[in-house]
Amino acid sequence: MKYFDLSYEAVNFLGQFGQHLNATTSETVELVSEFLRPICVVFLDQQFRTQSRPKSLYLSNPTVNTYLRDAGFEFLAPNAPTHFSPFDRRRRTGLKAFTNRRDDEIVLAWVREQVMVHFPNFTSELERDMVKKVYEIVHNGMVHSHSSHGVSVFGQLFPQKKTFEIAFYDAGVGIPQNVRNYGERIDSDAGCIEWALRSGTTTRPSKESGGMGLFLLQKFLGINNGFLQIASGNGYYERQGNQEPQCKALQHFLHGTLVSIKVRQTSLSYSYKHQS
Amino acid sequence: MQALHVLNIVGSPVLLASEKGETLKLAIIKALESFPFVAVDFTGYQFISSTFFNYAFGALCIEEAWNHDDFGKNIKIQGLSEDDAEELELCLFNVQQRRNLLANNINTEEFYATRIPV
């Protein structure tokens, strides 16, 4: 894919690439692209971490290779061309893989040092919201993915659009499988994602409490007029602000769970009332 | 009344991790063995997550078979911001819904499965 955006087509392509990566016996896998974004970085990071035999990634575009290298991606092929980075590194976070759900203070430090710097004049309330939301997405991934490789996270500022994108990916079980293991009656993977976003729904055992994190994330992005994208299995979900969500079936199965949020640079925070 | 200062119990003003919620839950249970109710004081906290609420109070309500009124009789919450207090209310509401299903012998897995859009 020449230019990745935050779209259904881009996620479809990632699923296709992931299948190719898992199927190939080649030690070096080529990706043809001239522009990546955070969903690509986290997806590639976990996909290459979880290979049973070491593989490396090759792109012919030195700018893209440099972008990945500077992000902290460790699986570039040795002969992948790079050059002096034209990117302003202050626009990006470092690529981080969180593997221990006890590390809440590490998540806090990462958000403070690498995310909040991109929100000028942020309020303590906005910082609180961002820390909570990032932690809860990371925690969800670590608890529900059953993956020993944790969750990869990466963010980037798009200054002209005044938005900050953060992407999260785990190459674990995936939402649809978790939900089916719990309920066994869901036909569509996109329906499983929608179910997981409701208040009070959780795949934790009956006697455990849960079902708030994703619901509150939606509310936060609704007030911020931000964007939420979730892909898992053959399910795809996206929602802009408080608009009607779009749910579709992916053409290519995506292992694990990919979450991307786009937050507008604003000091607006929110209060909410729980719905009965 | 026993007052539990969360930051002293958990050892941090960062209340995100589930394990910290569990630590608080155990401290509350132990305190209630000796006192009719406890005050849980969050003064000085910096960050708190729904995960923490679920593991501290959601799990407590399920284990102790408390409804919302029972919670209020046993626990006095102090020092939470308005937003976070509302988030705690949502946690308790979700727990109540779940307990209602269990009390009516409704299998929660099957119940939620029938609510899924085709």
Is residue A273 over pLDDT 80?
no
- B106: closest CA of chain A, how far (Å): 11
- What's the pLDDT band for A275 if we cut at 50, 70, 90? very low
- Which tops the pLDDT comparison, A221 or A168? A168
| % residues pLDDT > 70 (chain A) | 89
User: Which value, in Å, is the radius of gyration of the alpha carbons in chain B?
Assistant: 15
Asked whether A50 and A150 are in contact (CB, 8 A), the reply is: no
Contact between B53 and A212 using a beta-carbon 8 Å cutoff: yes
Please indicate, yes or no, if residue A275 is contained in any of the structural domains.
no
| % residues pLDDT > 90 (chain A) | 54
For residue B23, list chain A residues with Cβ-Cβ distance below 8 A.
none
pLDDT tens, residue by residue, A54-64:
999 999 999 89
- Full residue range of the structural domain in which residue B9 is found: 2-111
- Give the count of domains, chain B: 1
- Full residue range of the structural domain in which residue A178 is found: 8-270
Helical axes A8-23 vs A38-49, angle rounded to 10°: 20
Please indicate, yes or no, if residue B16 is contained in any of the structural domains.
yes
The token pair at A232 is: 């898992």
- Which tops the pLDDT comparison, A11 or A119? A11
Closest CA to B117 of A221, A183, A173, A177: A183
Q: What angle do CA A145, A232, A64 make, to 5 degrees?
A: 95
For residue B82, list chain A residues with Cβ-Cβ distance below 8 A.
271
* Torsion over CA: B62, A143, A180, A215 (sign): positive
Is residue A49 over pLDDT 80?
yes
Cα A81 from Cα A92, distance rounded (Å): 21
Q: What single-letter DSSP state applies at residue B65?
A: T
Q: What is the DSSP string of B79-93?
A: S--HHHHHHHHHHHH
Q: What is the DSSP string of chain A?
A: --B--SSHHHHHHHHHHHHHHHH---SEEE---SB--HHHHHHHHHHHHT-SS--EEE-S-HHHHHHHHHHT---B-TT----S--S-GGGB---EEE--TT-HHHHHHHIIIIIGGGSTT--HHHHHHHHHHHHHHHHHHHHHS--TT-EEEEEEEETTTTEEEEEEEE-SS-HHHHHHHHH-----HHHHHHHHTSTT--SS-TTS----HHHHHHHHHHHHT-EEEEEEEEEEEEEETTSPPEEEEEEEEEEEEEEEEEEES-----------
pLDDT computed for residue A31 by the predictor: 92
When CB atoms are compared, the residue of B50, B53, B116 closest to A195 is B116
Please indicate, yes or no, if residue B14 is contained in any of the structural domains.
yes
Asked whether A227 and B109 are in contact (CB, 8 A), the reply is: no
Mean pLDDT (chain A) is: 87
For residue A128, list chain B residues with Cβ-Cβ distance below 8 A.
46-47
Contact between A212 and B14 using a beta-carbon 8 Å cutoff: no
pLDDT computed for residue A206 by the predictor: 58
Q: What single-letter DSSP state applies at residue B57?
A: I
Please indicate, yes or no, if residue A3 is contained in any of the structural domains.
no
* Mean pLDDT along residues A212-237: 90
CATH number, position A82: 3.30.565.10
- Which tops the pLDDT comparison, A190 or A204? A190
Please indicate, yes or no, if residue A77 is contained in any of the structural domains.
yes
Please indicate, yes or no, if residue B19 is contained in any of the structural domains.
yes
Choose the mutation target among A98, A100, A102, A104 for the interface with B, i.e. most B CBs under 10 Å.
Answer: A104
Torsion of CA B21, B27, B28, B32, to 10 degrees: 160
pLDDT computed for residue A88 by the predictor: 64
pLDDT computed for residue A207 by the predictor: 60
Is residue A129 over pLDDT 90?
no
- Which tops the pLDDT comparison, A121 or A165? A165
Please indicate, yes or no, if residue A148 is contained in any of the structural domains.
yes
- What's the pLDDT band for A220 if we cut at 50, 70, 90? confident
Q: What single-letter DSSP state applies at residue B13?
A: S
Please indicate, yes or no, if residue B104 is contained in any of the structural domains.
yes
Please indicate, yes or no, if residue B116 is contained in any of the structural domains.
no
B-contacting residues in A 92-151 (Cβ below 8 Å)? 101-105, 107-108, 125, 128, 131-132, 135-136, 139, 143
Q: Give the mean pLDDT per block of 10 residues along chain B (118 residues).
A: 92 94 96 94 95 94 91 96 92 86 67 48
Is residue A227 over pLDDT 80?
yes
Q: Assess: ipTM above 0.85.
A: no
pLDDT computed for residue A102 by the predictor: 83
The nearest alpha carbon in chain B to A128 belongs to B47
- What's the pLDDT band for A257 if we cut at 50, 70, 90? very high
Report how many helices (DSSP H) and strands (DSSP E) chain B contains, helices first.
Answer: 7, 5
Is residue A251 over pLDDT 70?
yes
Please indicate, yes or no, if residue A276 is contained in any of the structural domains.
no
pLDDT computed for residue B9 by the predictor: 97
Of the listed ranges A22-26, A92-96, A196-200, B31-35, the one predicted with least confidence: A196-200
Please indicate, yes or no, if residue B65 is contained in any of the structural domains.
yes
Closest CA to A97 of A36, A27, A48: A48
Closest CA to A234 of A170, A164, A185, A187: A187
- What's the pLDDT band for A149 if we cut at 50, 70, 90? very high
pLDDT computed for residue A78 by the predictor: 93
- Give the count of domains, chain A: 1
Please indicate, yes or no, if residue A215 is contained in any of the structural domains.
yes
Please indicate, yes or no, if residue A141 is contained in any of the structural domains.
yes
* Total CB pairs under 8 A between chain A and B: 128
Whole-model pTM: value is 0.89
For residue B87, list chain A residues with Cβ-Cβ distance below 8 A.
212, 216, 272, 274
pLDDT computed for residue B100 by the predictor: 79
The structure tokens 């569509």 sit at A188
- What's the pLDDT band for A98 if we cut at 50, 70, 90? very high
Strand partners, A158: A163
- Which tops the pLDDT comparison, A235 or A90? A235
Beta-carbon count within 10 A of B73 CB: 12
